[in-house]
Chains A and B, each alone.
Chain A
Amino acid sequence: MKPLSAIVFKDIVIEMRNKETISSMLMFGLLVLVVFNFAFQPSGAERALIAPGILWVAFTFAGILGLNRSLSIEIDNDCLQGLLLAPLDRGALYLGKVASNFIFMVIAEAMILPVFVLFYNLRFNLQFLEIAGISVLGTLAFAAVGTILSTISANTRMKEVMLPILQIPLTLPVILAAVMATSAVLSGETEGISSWLYLLGGFSIVYLVVSYLVFEFVVEE
């Protein structure tokens, strides 16, 4: 646990100092909500249909922005190599980066979600908490695969472009499951929601385990 907490603490200190990751994720997420709100102006029944997709578009692109920023911290001055020199299982380094990426994404989402509720005339009730729970589960899967993909894209020439190109197709099942679960909550038809939640949980576990196992091979030159 010590290396994991050391990496998370280090990333939090850097974020507190430069305030770049969360603020950029927040600004981008809010802009997506505003643009889609004006573009669609959903009302009544449309809202439950469109709003979940808009929310997860905001979360997805804000998350990619956060992953890119997290990656740039480790690429700058070749700091990732410094991490790899540590006498640790490299999987532990991966888990540390997943943890800090997950924390930053959840913080940004915790600020985007209330704005989403206001924009789409929703209420701060149990529904809000249920959407928050779905967001946490979806974000875990997103951070798990995003962390390893950002490490892979670090070795490519167009890293900022490469990450979304790799990330979006691989997280499509996660985004789809999260949108369907959010939609079920908003429409009040929650009978089939458990299968989407199982899918989210399953993808989180699979992405975490597979990425943990292959991380060592990804980071070696």
Chain B
Amino acid sequence: MHAGDSPALESEDIQKSFGHFTALAGVTLTFQRSEFVALFGRNGAGKTTFLKIAATLMRASHGNLRIGGADIKEQPETVRRQIGFLSHNTYLYRDLNPIENLRFFARLYGIHDAESRISALLTRVGLKRRMNDPVRSFSRGLNQRLGIARVMLHDPSLILLDEPYTGLDANAVEMLNTMLDEAVGAGKTIILTTHDLELGLRAATRAAIIDRGKIVFDGSSRGTAVRDAYTEYVRMGTPQ
């Protein structure tokens, strides 16, 4: 199979334990390119753990995971080049300003023509006026906007977003939604976790629900099945 034909993400029986606690109990999923997947689950269900393993930040206890056909254990650098990951923290240096932060990451990713890309992204996320202010002075929402710019900086083909709407105001939510719509239009794959069903399903083409480390629903984001499953496992489910 040509690398370009490979699924965006394939996981086979991914398991992860922290001591006696099982965070993931065998997650098997395949996401095709250009899919927009909303991943739901209660706190502690295993969403972040799964995304961290896919982003090569955490090692799975068992199982295989490939990104664009590249195995995360055998070709981690190839995998990282394809991934943009936004976590609960934005991974930005508070003593640097937005331009310095993005320049630093551009150098790590070996991005050519970084200045024009940085300028365009800062305009896009509405931080052009604040580009010389230290990140330390930013609100949670502004931090998140800059975090989104960092994720998009190297033009990743797989975008992993862990609760990306946290702290964003209505304008920023709209900005992020537009950026995500454009990314899907450009053939990128998005996996987004959120507690907000409506925000998650807004543009998603597919939905999955994770509960106690297992995928309990995987199907279309349209129709009532996902809403019923959400009610059963996320809203009504017993605490972890």
Report which A residues bind B (CB closer than 8 A): 2-3, 5-6, 9-10, 13-14, 17-18, 73, 76-79, 81-89, 220-221
30 contacts between A and B (CB under 8 A): A3-B108, A6-B108, A9-B104, A10-B93, A10-B100, A14-B95, A14-B96, A17-B134, A18-B95, A73-B93, A77-B89, A77-B90, A77-B93, A78-B91, A79-B93, A81-B57, A82-B105, A83-B108, A85-B56, A85-B83, A85-B85, A86-B80, A86-B108, A87-B78, A87-B109, A87-B110, A88-B77, A221-B52, A221-B57, A221-B59
Interface size on B, residues (CB 8 A): 30
Measured between alpha carbons, how far is A221 from B16 in the docked complex, in Å? 11
Residues of A with C-beta under 8 A to B83: 85
Which of the listed residues A6, A14, A82, A89 has the most CB atoms from chain B within 10 Å of its own CB?
A: A82
Given A73-B95, A81-B91, A221-B59, 9 more pairs with CB closer than 8 A: A6-B104, A10-B93, A10-B96, A78-B91, A79-B91, A81-B89, A85-B56, A87-B110, A221-B52
Distance in Å from the Cβ of B212 to the closest Cβ of chain A?
20
Chain A residue with the shortest CB-CB distance to B82: A87
Residues 174-232 (chain B) with a chain A CB within 8 angstroms: none
Residues of B with C-beta under 8 A to A82: 91-92, 105, 150
Cβ of B112 within 8 Å of any chain A Cβ, yes or no, is: no
Residues of A with C-beta under 8 A to B89: 77-78, 81
Residues of A with C-beta under 8 A to B56: 84-85
Residues of A with C-beta under 8 A to B58: 220-221
